[in-house]
Amino acid sequence: MKILKFGGTSVADAANIGRVLDIVKNKSKESRLVVVVSALSGVTDLLLKASGEASAKDENYKEISRLIEQKHLEAIKELIPVNHQSALLSHVKRVINHLDTLLDGCFLLGELSARTSDTIVGFGEILSSCIISEAMKHDIDFGLETGFKDSRELIKTNSSFGKAAVNFELTNKMISDYFSENQQRVTVMPGFVASSTDGNNTTLGRGGSDYTAAIIAAALNATELEIWTDVNGMFTANPKLVKQAQPIEKISYQEAMELSHFGAKVLYPPTIQPVLNLNIPILIKNTFEPEAFGTYISNENNLQSNPIKGISHMDKMALLTLEGSGIIGVSGFSKRLFEALSNHGINVVFITQASSEHSICIGVQNSDADMAKTAIDLAFEIEIAQHRIDPCIVEKNLCIVALVGENMRNHQGLSGKMFSTLGKNNVNIRAIAQGASERNISVVINEKDVQKALNTLHERFFEDNIKQLNLFVMGVGNVGEKFMEQISSQKRYLKENMKLNVRLIGVSNSRKMLFDEDGIPLKDWKNMLEDGEKADKERFIERVKALNLRNSVFVDITANAEISKTYAQYLEKNIAVVTCNKIACASEFHNYRNLKNLSRKYNAPFLFETNVGAGLPIIDTLKRMIASGDKVNKIQAVLSGSLNFIFNNFNENASFHDVVKEAGVQGFTEPDPKIDLSGVDVARKILILIRESGYEMEINDIENKSFLPQASLDTDNVPDFFSSLTANASHFDTLYKEASDKDCRLKYVAQFENGKASVGLQLIPKGHDFYNLEGKDNIVLFYTDRYVDQPLIIKGAGAGAAVTASGIFADVIRVGNV
């Protein structure tokens, strides 16, 4: 014999019940069946709401009762042939009338006893089981003998209304006797409901339909217990929170109990106990994908390379801490603590105690926290009054996350991996517990971090170490577009070869912004952005924070000073910052140092390789050199690809104005070219290299020897600036002629030595490292303690949208490899 239990979503409506009938037909060809059913989806909640409103003297309970009635009448009309409906309709109306009488009583009395509540909430299963049983009897294709049996007549309990304890000796005998005498091929029974030995209606706790099925399976020593639900079994994590969660094919009873205890709602925790000792396997199946394997729960030893079977969590938890010198070495302390909680019916789900015995922490449901504090403070009021124990401390809105696996005990370092993985994503652990069986490691964290924690841990233990990077991109002009193209073209390569899954979650330009937690398609981001919401820097930040995704990276591809001021807000939320915007790192030294400190404190990378040399590995090389113990004594560099392009193309046949224009067209200058030509941009770059070399300096400490005439420097808009270049053409021609006469080339050079720095136009003679610097190339010469006579030279393209985008891309990959 097999026991099949169908949950609320499986019997939500006539269409779903039709699927149940098909499954039962197929299964009944192989074996006798007991079919246990839950209430129609949502009905139990409606019953609870109706009883609550009736006892609160809110007449809306009548409308809820009509809704419940209508829901069942509609199911009957769709499932039962018209000429067979009348008897069942009359039965349902009688049951609803009984429900109305009870609700009216609650309304008149203005109260709801636990005993009355049990009777009311059990109506859902009573009604659904009758309807499903009749539907089977009248299905012309069924061709089998179907019976109905009220579970209240077979399952006997004590009178603990709400979650009654089963009298197994009496229950097992009654179930065994009934099925020995009644040999129907299929017997339909309501789940959840039972009755006390003195005849009152009781229930087995929320989710008790699973428990009903397990009780019957154990009493009949069934060959298998099947739990039919709306998912493909137990998952490695909650699939609603972790999109990459996978079904677990095989799992032990103990692992299943751990996962269900810690919130895996697909299985009610007490379900396993009745079948465990009899070694009756449990199969969890999906009503909507019956061909899927599901999860097989048994005593089989399922050895596998991964010792972790699943990650589960319990939300809406509170942590209560009791501490003080009066605890140390006092026998009976724990007894008094747990007795105080037990006397108030408070369930403790988490316990941890310091080895010093100075404090003890317990986890309870949020809803029980205030009552628990009152009970504890009362139990220890004398010690509290004598200041030997502090009053109980309560922290609410927490969550317990647990790693579960039977073979965890045989693997070292799992807890270390768990804690470091959470720590890298700035998930603060409030408490830790691990049982002696080593089947689970549990941590208490803030509830707001639960999705990030689950995804981070799942990524670490189940996803072949594929790390998901969630990008939030600000600025999608020339460089930004190239960056998007590079991500799109390399996405597959990154996943297959570097184990990085890069997703675009948020994007913004100056007009619009767009967010999608599931990822914005990289092939269509531009069109989607046009339909996005109005851009707002502050709202962008708040959305990034609220999403609270693991491995988040803010990518700034602007030259906007206001955007550069937001970096601290990202870093202190453990969000990495990748930027080509030089303003932050060239701002006041205390701000630069603060950003670096925040990066270290919150384990959030702050990378700005493209601040100097676009895609050239200048800053990364410098960092490695300093980290190895070398010291920079002198820097000489041509750091502006735009200025190098301009002076390499400026000659007697091309006016200075036209060359600058062309540089802008090719994307080598900022939108306002005066930023490049005034030397401000180069000064920022050398300042960043000086700071990264370990020296403290401000931008005003750098001598700027401008080659622009004062009239050009005084302009305040781009058209006027270009006009000034034309008006002062002779000035620039003179500069070129002087260089040409001396057989030199014009290069805009930045240098640092002996604590002093400067930027300015220089005449570079033949034979110098800078002389043959072509096109838009940059070059940097580092003279250090190790590179004394011959400097370390880094040379290559230092401007252009594609190379700058590649530098940003490289920084993003560095974040992924941290």
What would the pLDDT profile of 355-385 be if each residue is shown by its tens digit? 666 788 999 999 999 999 999 999 999 999 9
Which residues does 400 contact at the CB level (< 8 Å), separation at least 6? 262, 263, 313, 314, 317, 349, 350, 363, 442, 443, 444
Clarify whether residues 437 and 513 are in a common domain: no
Clarify whether residues 628 and 717 are in a common domain: yes
**What residue numbers bound the domain in which 787 lies?**
618-799
How far is it, in rounded angstroms, from Cα 669 to Cα 242? 44
The mean pLDDT value for 585-593 works out to 97
* pLDDT reading at 329 higher than 80: no
Q: Is residue 235 part of a domain?
A: no
| Mean pLDDT for all residues in the chain | 92
How many domains does the chain divide into?
A: 4
Q: Is residue 7 part of a domain?
A: yes
Clarify whether residues 347 and 489 are in a common domain: no
**Is pLDDT larger for residue 508 or for residue 323?**
508
Clarify whether residues 637 and 701 are in a common domain: yes
Please give the pLDDT value at position 305: 67
Answer yes or no: are the C-beta atoms of 615 and 806 closer than 8 Å.
yes
Q: Regarding beta strands 500-508 and 512-515, do their DSSP bridges make them parallel or antiparallel, or are they unpaired?
A: antiparallel
Q: Tokens 């920079």 belong to which residue?
A: 632
Q: Is residue 68 part of a domain?
A: no
Beta bridge partners of 578: 555, 607
Neighbours of 233 (CB within 10 A): 24
Please give the pLDDT value at position 563: 96
Looking at residue 326, what DSSP letter applies? Answer: G
Q: Is residue 295 part of a domain?
A: no
Clarify whether residues 749 and 664 are in a common domain: yes
Q: In angstroms, how far is CA 700 from the centroid of its own chain?
A: 44
How far is it, in rounded angstroms, from Cα 570 to Cα 554? 7
Clarify whether residues 384 and 493 are in a common domain: no
The mean pLDDT value for 15-35 works out to 92
Q: Is residue 119 part of a domain?
A: no
Please give the pLDDT value at position 623: 95
Q: What b/e readout covers 302-326, taking b as 16+ CB neighbours within 10 angstroms?
A: beeeebbbbbbbbeebbbbbbbbeb
22 pLDDT band (50/70/90 cuts)?
A: very high
What would the pLDDT profile of 132-150 be if each residue is shown by its tens digit? 999 988 875 665 688 999 9
Answer yes or no: are the C-beta atoms of 377 and 369 closer than 8 Å.
no
- Looking at 428, 456, 484, which one is the last position of a domain? 456
Q: Give the end-to-end CA distance of the chain in Å, rounded to a whole number.
A: 55
Q: What angle do CA 47, 52, 53 make, to 5 degrees?
A: 100
CATH number for the domain including 763?
3.30.360.10
- Looking at 230, 249, 264, which one is the last position of a domain? 230
Please give the pLDDT value at position 302: 63
What would the pLDDT profile of 417-476 be if each residue is shown by its tens digit? 999 999 988 899 999 988 656 688 999 999 999 999 999 999 989 887 789 999 999 999
CATH number for the domain including 19?
3.40.1160.10
Clarify whether residues 543 and 592 are in a common domain: yes
Whose CA is closest to 326, among 313, 338, 314, 337?
337
Q: In angstroms, how far is CA 162 from the centroid of its own chain?
A: 34
What 3-state class would DSSP assign to 434? strand
Percent of the chain with pLDDT over 70: 97
Answer yes or no: are the C-beta atoms of 228 and 285 closer than 8 Å.
yes
Clarify whether residues 482 and 583 are in a common domain: yes
What would the pLDDT profile of 54-79 be if each residue is shown by its tens digit? 999 999 999 999 999 999 999 999 99
794 pLDDT band (50/70/90 cuts)?
A: very high
Backbone angles phi, psi at 161, to 5 degrees: -65, 140
- Looking at 426, 456, 486, which one is the last position of a domain? 456
Q: Is residue 412 part of a domain?
A: yes
What 3-state class would DSSP assign to 437? coil
> What is the identity of the amino acid at 12?
A
Neighbours of 346 (CB within 10 A): 20
Q: What angle do CA 276, 278, 280 make, to 5 degrees?
A: 75
What tokens does 766 get? 């033949």
Q: Is residue 805 part of a domain?
A: no
How far is it, in rounded angstroms, from Cα 783 to Cα 59? 86
User: For 388-431, what is the HEC assignment?
Assistant: CCCCCEEEEEEEEEEEECCCHHHCCCHHHHHHHHHHHCCCCEEE
What 3-state class would DSSP assign to 746? strand
Neighbours of 12 (CB within 10 A): 21
Burial of 115 (0-12, 13-18, 19+ CB in 10 A): middle
In the chain, what are the helix, strand and coil shares in percent, each to the nearest 5? Answer: 45, 20, 35
Looking at residue 247, what DSSP letter applies? Answer: B
Whose CA is closest to 198, among 149, 148, 152, 151?
152
What tokens does 364 get? 């309870």
What 3-state class would DSSP assign to 456? helix
CATH number for the domain including 585?
3.40.50.720
How far is it, in rounded angstroms, from Cα 239 to Cα 295? 15
Confirm whether pTM is higher than 0.85. no
How far is it, in rounded angstroms, from Cα 532 to Cα 490? 26
Whose CA is closest to 235, among 256, 210, 218?
256
Catalytic residues: 685
Clarify whether residues 492 and 552 are in a common domain: yes
How far is it, in rounded angstroms, from Cα 251 to Cα 214? 17
Please give the pLDDT value at position 141: 62
H or E segment to which residue 619 belongs: helix 618-627
Sign, CA torsion 458/459/463/465: negative
What would the pLDDT profile of 741-786 be if each residue is shown by its tens digit? 999 999 999 999 999 999 999 999 998 999 999 888 899 999 999 9
Whose CA is closest to 175, among 161, 160, 189?
189
Clarify whether residues 34 and 142 are in a common domain: yes
Clarify whether residues 34 and 6 are in a common domain: yes
CATH number for the domain including 408?
3.30.2130.10
Q: Is 350 left (phi over 0), alpha (psi -120 to 50) or beta?
A: beta
Clarify whether residues 34 and 151 are in a common domain: yes
What would the pLDDT profile of 228-242 be if each residue is shown by its tens digit? 999 899 999 998 899
Whose CA is closest to 50, among 60, 36, 41, 35?
60
The mean pLDDT value for 693-708 works out to 95
How many residues are listed for the chain in this entry?
A: 818
Answer yes or no: are the C-beta atoms of 300 and 342 closer than 8 Å.
no
Q: Is residue 276 part of a domain?
A: no
Answer yes or no: are the C-beta atoms of 660 and 712 closer than 8 Å.
no
